[in-house]
Amino acid sequence: MRLIEDYNLIRGRIFDIQRYSIHDGPGIRTIVFLKGCVLRCRWCCNPESQEYDIQTVNANGKTRIYGEDVTVAQVMETVMRDADYYRRSGGGLTLSGGESLLQPEFAKGLLMAAKDYGIGTALESMACVDYEVIASVLPYLDTYLMDIKHMNPQKHKAFTGRTNELMLENARKVAQSGQTNLIIRTPVIPTFNDTVEEIRAIAEFADKLPNVTRLHLLPYHRLGQDKYQWLGRKYEMGEILPPDQEKMEMLKKTVESVSGLDCRIGG
Amino acid sequence: MPEIESARAVLYTESFRQTENQPMVLRKAKAFAHVLDQIPIIIRPNELIVGSSTLAPRGCQTFPEFSFEWLEQEFDTVANREADPFFIAEETKKQLHEADKYWKGRTTSDLALSYMSPEAIRAQNHNIFTVGNYFYNGVGHFTVQYWKVLELGIEGIMREVKAELDTVKPSDADYGTKSRMLESCLIACAGIIRYANRYAALAKELAAKETNKTRKEELLRIAENCTQVPEKPARNFYEACQSFWFVQQLIQMESSGHSISPGRFDQYMYPYYRADLEAGVINHDDAQELLDCIWVKLNDLNKCRDAESAKGFAGYSLFQNLIVGGQDEQGRDATNDLSFMCIDASMHVFLPMPSLSIRVWNQSPQELLLRAAELTRTGIGLPAYYNDEVIIPSLMSRGIPLEEARNYSIIGCVEPQVMGKTLGWHDAAFFNMVRPMELVFTGGVDMGEQIGPKTKPVEEMQSFEEFFDAYQEQMNYFIGLLVNADNAVDLAHRERAPLAFISTLMDDCIKRGKTPEQGGAIYNFTGPQGFGVANIADSLYTVKKLVFEDHRCTLAELKQALRYNFGKEINPFIVAQIAGDVTNSFLAQHVTPEPELVAKTTQQVIASVSEQDRKRMEEIYEMILDLPKFGNDIPEVDEIGREAAYCYTRPLLQYRNPRGGIFQAGLYPVSANVPLGFTSGASPDGRLARQPVADGVSPSQGRDVNGPTAAANSVAMLDHGIASNGTLYNQKFHPTALAGQEGLIKFIDLIRTFFDRKGMHMQFNVVSRETLLDAQQHPENYKGLIVRVAGYSALFTGLSKSLQDDIISRTEQGL
């Protein structure tokens, strides 16, 4: 039998907790953002998530610290303040990042704790880790929101810093495991993957994955732009505008025309 | 711009000049009937439901019997004022002025003032609270027995009155009051029947001239309706609608009281709708059209308030609250087709009236809440959601039996009561909880005048408890004065404003032979509302944490920081306070405080504040801003919030009003938190002088940063049940939060969970594109505006123009 104490004291590094999240998984949720990422996506709206190190920045004259080391118990204390909302809505805890699986023990501890408290669990992740790590959290995971950004390994590498083979392979394995509800998410980024051909390729791949029925198209937004400046980094997307509604609808139709997937714009 | 008309005032006064030395109740009924007989009537183009109080649409009549001086003073400015302007013609001014002459010294407000204690008047002059609403106007704030008119007709009610009159024996001690009161009821009722018949005649006349065949038929039908109702029982849904409307309109002709609330309209109208459906005489669409017509008529009525009150009730609102859903007397869910159709009517008409409300409990059908949420999503600010599970026990704690409590409706903004049996005097005052906090720092001195208790000087306080005790002492003192002022106004209405017509539709007025103002209603309350809970919670927490726990500043330093507005803008309010101190120091030294000398010295005092002191004040200000605030689900702050609210809600319960009822607190501001904030100094929560006070039980603007669930949890930490006159909680949303069916469902889950946690009321502003565009132009007015897009939240005004544009374009997509 598992004792709650087993995971309560596991420590990990987070950079934010966001309550009343309604676009990332079922119901009303709390997202815990774990710090550190393997990718360096150019459009990333949370650039402070990428480095594992704790960062201190000057945000419009105010000092801001990105990163805090906390225990599973501390995180769950905040998460469970909205327990009533999860029960009403079928929501719960969502882990996001960065790539939360880079802190596998901590991530697993949080998911186990959530399960013990009886709330739902979800994970937003690129699956860019060894499959054993993923396999270790699957028993505690209700929903896996997995990013598939591009089918071409070279273009993937050019825009994110890594090729996509490992992620695609993991996507297949997670889907085959049947242990979690896998949802594929694709950020739609102008200049990167916003053509009919590119989205179609992703849809065709996702459609072949067993047990996968849903694909979310997430329109690019620039709301993280200021943080690049605070971090002393250049925002490489420059003045690229978000895709308009018409374009998103068109891409949604593309997905629907080549797959049986239930496609949604936004989470 | 809506227009002020004079006909009612002129006719009402004409009658009063002829009835000197008769009992007041009789005089008022005769004047009311005289107005109904003579006032110009109009049927507007294509109306299906008729009855208009003014010739101009959305116009208003005046009610000089309650007060008139303010309007005379505003004759030349009322059209240009910022809040709720009205056009007034020169001829109208002349006629009103002529009528007003009669009322000098004869109004309810004149009499109310003479009943007030000098301390209570002084407290009002210092803006601690205001009882302006009923001081200047009729009381209103009730739901009458509309169903009684539908079922029995006015003729049936007159039979009831006559039967009661027959039981009055000349030898009875109350013969004089009771017989005259009942006679007045008959006069008022007969006037109403004649008024409806005037409409029947007008409709016939118009029909005769009408060339369009459809309209001609409509007019003939209107004539038939007005011949039947309200005199006789309604025979079908259309007649029920017309009968309802005459009652609703004419209550607002008898007196200027607002919040005349239709209450559970979906319940008492439903039998007529169902019968017509079953008989095949009406279909859903025709019934919906009639409802839509009533909704338009509810917006045809209007009221001109004095400039100050207009700021507090901004938006021309009459607060005619109509509520659907919820449970019946036996505890079963009472939702029916009309509940949905009422929501649809608000969606179709898309005007502020009625103030649509939804009762929510665990058996509320999801479909009803989905329909309601769709209306919320439009950004119209309707409906408001109410929690049966808190309100029913709350009413029971005030002596109301279970069955009646289950059948509650909402009056005005948020005030629960039993329909047709209650004179709740809801909205009896605005009490600004921030001002007594200021007085703790001055030992009860405001503008140089000792207006509150001389509590211990803050410099000598040794503990947080001592400070908190001093706040409670100030509060208790002013709550006592508030009671005095309310009761004075109550007495004035009893004496000068007994209303006959509403007496016939409120138990147990007829049996008792008393109008509601005289104590005729079964349930009597006085419900003054306090606001600024969040400011007091945060202020108390500042003192507890910063001064007594962390010793980061002293109360003396805090006192100076408050006096000088944290070293920021020295505005006229600050200058006046310092001038008050200067005057007192002269008096203490036996120097005559000549105005010029005081002014000069005040400037010297202000100039003498050292740069070092100013820096320290700003430092304190920053420390305060960095403290945790109410509204973020932080237990130690929210616990203080609970205690802060008790400072207002608990003491009130011990007091009684002249009608034999008790006082019960409300926690909501309408919109008075802005004007009354303007007459308040800085407070220890970091609120600067003259800034708005927090609205209702909501966190201070922009201070809740952990999202809607955290804010709702904090608000739910307050004891809502004890505030049985209602609490008001506003949340703001970006439309994408309600996008799609799933968005609506999650939104409903949020409401239901807040209600699981025993919140009482919730209403929502969905931020519109227009709001965001305005925020882009005037960022200073939108400091706390947080937008959440795709799970990403940001302070709107902190974003660059192009990002703001992104969000604005997403706002459109969300809908």
- ipTM for the complex? 0.90
Q: Is residue B13 located within the same domain as residue B91? A: yes
Question: Quick one: pLDDT at residue B67?
Answer: 95
Do the domain assignments include residue B132? no
Domain end call among B220, B235, B254: B254
Q: Give dist(CA A55, CA A66) in Å, integer.
A: 5
CB A101 within 8 A of CB A115: no
Condensed to tens digits (0 to 9), the pLDDT of residues B493-551 reads 999 999 999 999 999 999 999 999 999 999 999 999 999 999 999 999 999 999 999 99
- Which pair of tokens denotes residue B614? 């100013």
Ramachandran quadrant class, A216 (left: phi over 0; alpha: psi -120 to 50; beta: rest): beta
Please report, rounded to a whole number, the percentage of residues in chain B having pLDDT higher than 90.
Answer: 85
Q: What one-character DSSP code corresponds to residue B683?
A: B
B815 pLDDT tier (thresholds 50, 70, 90): very low
| DSSP 3-state of B647 | helix
Does A22 reach chain B within 8 Å, measured CB to CB?
Answer: yes
Cα B749 from Cα B761, distance rounded (Å): 15
Q: pLDDT for B579-626, tens place per residue? A: 999 999 999 999 999 999 999 999 999 999 999 999 999 999 999 999
Q: What band does B779 get if pLDDT is binned at 50, 70 and 90?
A: confident
> pLDDT tens digits for B383-436?
999 999 999 999 999 999 999 999 999 999 899 999 999 999 999 999 999 999
Report the alpha-carbon distance of residue B605 to residue B584 in Å, rounded: 14
- Binned at pLDDT 50, 70 and 90, residue B38 comes out as very high
CA–CA distance, A152 with B768 (Å, rounded to integer): 41
Q: How far apart are CA B772 and CA B185, in angstroms?
A: 53
According to DSSP, the residues that pair with B656 across neighbouring strands are B662
Q: What is the pLDDT of residue B398?
A: 96
Span A140-149, pLDDT tens digits: 999 999 999 9
B788 pLDDT band, cuts 50/70/90, is: low
Mean pLDDT of B744-767: 93
Contacts of B633 in chain A (CB under 8 A): 81
Residues B169 and B232 in one domain: yes
pLDDT at res. B773: 87
pLDDT tens, position by position, B331-383: 999 999 999 999 999 999 988 899 999 999 999 999 999 999 999 988 888 99
Tell which of B60, B88, B106 closes a domain.
Answer: B106
The helix/strand/coil state of B441 is helix
Residue B807 in this model has a pLDDT that exceeds 80 = no
Task: Quote the pLDDT of residue A1.
Answer: 44
Domain count within chain A: 1
Check whether residue B91 and residue B15 sit in a common domain.
yes
Q: Does A259 have pLDDT greater than 90?
A: yes
The total domain count for chain B is 2
Q: Which domain holds residue B81?
A: 7-38+48-106
**Is residue B333 a part of any domain in this protein?**
no
Same domain? B153 vs B102: no
In a domain, B204, yes or no: yes
Region A189-215: mean pLDDT is 96
**Taking CB atoms and an 8 Å cutoff, what residues of chain B touch A31?**
791
**Hey, are the CB atoms on A23 and B790 less than 8 Å from each other?**
yes
Please provide the distance, in angstroms rounded to a whole number, between the alpha carbons at the two ends of chain B. 30
Q: How far apart, in whole angstroms, are the C-alpha atoms of residue A251 and residue A249?
A: 5
CA dihedral B288, B292, B294, B295 (to 10 degrees): 140
Structural domain containing residue A126? 5-265
Confidence check: pLDDT of A40 > 70: yes
Q: Is B517 helix (H, G, I), strand (E, B) or coil?
A: helix
- Rounded to the nearest angstrom, the minimum Cα separation between B433 and chain A is 29
For residue A213, the domain's CATH number is 3.20.20.70
User: What one-letter code names the amino acid at B621?
Assistant: Y
Q: Which of B747, B749, B797 to mutate to test the interface with A (most CBs of A within 10 A)?
A: B749
Please list, in sequence order, all residues whose beta carbon lies within 8 angstroms of the beta carbon of residue B432, skipping any fewer than 6 positions away. Answer: B127, B128, B129, B530, B531, B532, B676, B677, B680, B693
Q: Over the stretch B613-638, which tens digit does the pLDDT of each residue have?
A: 999 999 999 999 999 999 999 999 99
Q: Give me the pLDDT at residue B794, please.
A: 64
Write out pLDDT tens, residues B197-208: 999 999 999 999
Domain limit, last residue, from B254, B273, B292: B254
Same domain, B82 and B146: no
pLDDT at B813 over 60: no
Judging contacts by C-beta atoms under 8 Å, the chain B residues touching residue A217 are none
- Please report the beta strands in A158-229, taking only residues with DSSP state E, as ranges in sequence order: 181-188, 214-219
For A:171-230, CB contacts with B below 8 A are 218, 221-226
Whether residue B184 lies inside any domain: the answer is: yes
State pTM to two decimals.
Answer: 0.93
Contact yes or no for B716/A47 (Cβ under 8 A)? no
pLDDT of residue A200: 97
Q: Name which of B656, B398, B666, B677 is nearest B528 in CA terms.
A: B666
Q: Determine what percent of chain B falls in helix, strand and coil, rounding each to the nearest 5.
A: 55, 10, 35
Q: Which of residues 40-69 of A touch B (CB under 8 A)?
A: 45, 60
**A17, A18, A22, A32: which to substitute to probe chain B, counting the most B Cβ within 10 Å?**
A22
> Mean pLDDT lowest for which of A231-245, B704-718, B764-778?
B764-778
Look at B753 and A85 and tell me if their CB atoms are within 8 Å: yes
One domain for residues B13 and B74: yes
Q: B539, B684 in Cβ contact below 8 A?
A: yes
Does some domain include residue B693? no
Residue B150 lies in a domain: yes
Contact between B119 and B497 (Cβ < 8 Å): no
Please tell me the predicted confidence (pLDDT) of residue B671: 73
Condensed to tens digits (0 to 9), the pLDDT of residues B641-681 reads 999 999 999 999 999 999 999 999 999 877 788 888 999 99
Mean pLDDT of chain B: 94
Contact present, B761 and B385 (Cβ < 8 Å): yes
The share of chain B scoring above pLDDT 70, in percent, equals 97
Give yes or no: residues B151 and B208 share one domain.
yes
Could you tell me the CA-to-CA distances from B314 to B82, B307, B680 in Å, in that order?
A: 9, 10, 20
Percent of chain A with pLDDT over 70: 98
Angle between helices B337-349 and B366-377 (to 10 degrees): 10
Phi, psi of B593 (to 5 degrees): -80, 75
Q: State the residue for tokens 């211990």.
A: B456
Q: Cβ(B424)–Cβ(B410) under 8 Å?
A: no
B210 within some domain: yes
The 10s digit of each residue's pLDDT in B676-702 is: 899 999 999 999 999 989 988 988 887
